């Protein structure tokens, strides 16, 4: 298949629409960009990205939590409140609808929000955990957390583990930590077995997640890449859609299943 690129306003090549429609198994990998139109900040967009305004090493590593648990917990409480106050957008909704059209759709996300689930997707593979979950930093005991809904990132002491007295931490994967083993295995298997891989809203710079695009390319999968910006994953794609996922994903759905329009 020849590589092509289009803006979000042009039509999808028939060959791609047919591949999607005939697929037995579609794998999808999403990143922060898919939740951007819901109002959740991405990490690396210039000016608005979280890592443009905060230092990852102060907030998203185990060492940072040990150094200043209240700083880290307060920041995640603020982000948790943002997630709880947003709604799924047209991109999340299109993926849930696509899953109803194919025998199998595996949705892999780097996102720690629950917007895919709230849009109707099930069995989502969360490579980087969930911001709505919490567990003890010391003993790992799951903690039933009730978000404080704080509207800023002020310091807040984390709850105390009822089992061991340790500090409770957010249920996300931090830099330097391993991905949940079973989730990663399932994601890799889905990419190996799928007919089409859709990648949406990720800068493709954080490994091992970013390696899934390379794996699909080596396996000669049809890859559809969706992002308003160029990324280093474009070179793997059979189709690059240059636009927001809230526009491009509904376009893909409508091209492959026009009866849903």
Residues that bind ligand OAD (CB under 6 A): 31-33, 36-37, 42-45, 49, 60, 110, 128, 172-173, 200-203, 206, 226-229, 231, 244-246
Choice between 31 and 250, CB closer to ligand OAD? 31
Choice between 25 and 118, CB closer to ligand OAD? 118
Cβ of residue 68: shortest distance to ligand OAD, in angstroms?
18
The beta-carbon contacts of 216-220 under 8 Å, at least 24 apart in sequence, are: 216/27, 216/191, 219/191, 219/192
Confirm whether 145 is a catalytic residue: no
| Closest-approach residue to ligand OAD (CB) | 33
Cβ of residue 204: shortest distance to ligand OAD, in angstroms?
6
Cβ of residue 242: shortest distance to ligand OAD, in angstroms?
10
Backbone angles phi, psi at 104, to 5 degrees: -145, 130
Whether residue 74 contacts residue 153, with contact meaning beta carbons closer than 8 Å, is answered with: yes
Distance CA 9, CA 11 (A): 7
Choice between 10 and 24, CB closer to ligand OAD? 10
Choice between 18 and 53, CB closer to ligand OAD? 53
Q: Where are the alpha helices (DSSP H) in the chain?
A: 14-22, 33-36, 50-53, 56-59, 62-67, 69-84, 90-99, 115-118, 181-193, 211-218, 245-256
Choice between 32 and 194, CB closer to ligand OAD? 32
Parallel, antiparallel, or unpaired for β 104-109 and 25-30?
Answer: parallel
Cβ of residue 230: shortest distance to ligand OAD, in angstroms?
9
Q: Chain-centre distance of CA 119, in angstroms?
A: 14
Angle between helices 14-22 and 245-256 (to 10 degrees): 80
* Marked catalytic residue, from 92, 116, 126, 128: 128
Distance CA 16, CA 224 (A): 9
Catalytic annotation, residues: 128
């Amino acid at each position: 298949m020849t590589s092509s690129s289009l803006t979000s306003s042009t039509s999808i090549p028939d060959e791609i629409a047919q591949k999607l429609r005939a697929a037995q198994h579609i794998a999808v990998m999403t990143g922060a960009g898919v939740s951007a139109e819901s109002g959740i900040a991405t990490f690396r967009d210039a000016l608005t990205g979280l890592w443009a305004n905060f230092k990852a090493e102060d907030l998203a590593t185990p060492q940072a939590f040990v150094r200043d648990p209240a700083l880290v917990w307060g920041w995640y409480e603020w982000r948790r409140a943002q997630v709880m106050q947003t709604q799924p957008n047209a991109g999340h909704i299109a993926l849930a609808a696509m899953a109803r059209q194919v025998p199998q759709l595996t949705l892999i996300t780097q996102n720690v929000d629950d917007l895919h689930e709230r849009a109707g997707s099930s069995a989502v593979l969360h490579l980087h955990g969930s911001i709505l979950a919490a567990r003890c930093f010391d003993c790992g005991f799951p903690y039933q957390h009730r978000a404080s809904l704080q509207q800023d990132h002020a310091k807040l002491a984390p709850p105390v583990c009822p089992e061991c007295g340790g500090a409770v931490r957010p249920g996300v994967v931090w830099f330097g930590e391993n991905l949940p083993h079973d989730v990663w295995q399932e994601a890799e298997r889905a990419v190996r077995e799928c007919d089409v891989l859709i990648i949406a809203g990720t800068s493709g710079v954080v490994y091992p997640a970013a390696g899934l695009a390379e794996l699909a390319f080596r396996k000669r999968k049809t890859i559809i890449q969706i992002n308003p910006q160029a990324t280093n994953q474009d070179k793997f794609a059979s189709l690059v859609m240059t636009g927001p996922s809230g526009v491009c994903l509904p376009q893909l759905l409508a091209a492959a299943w026009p009866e849903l329009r």
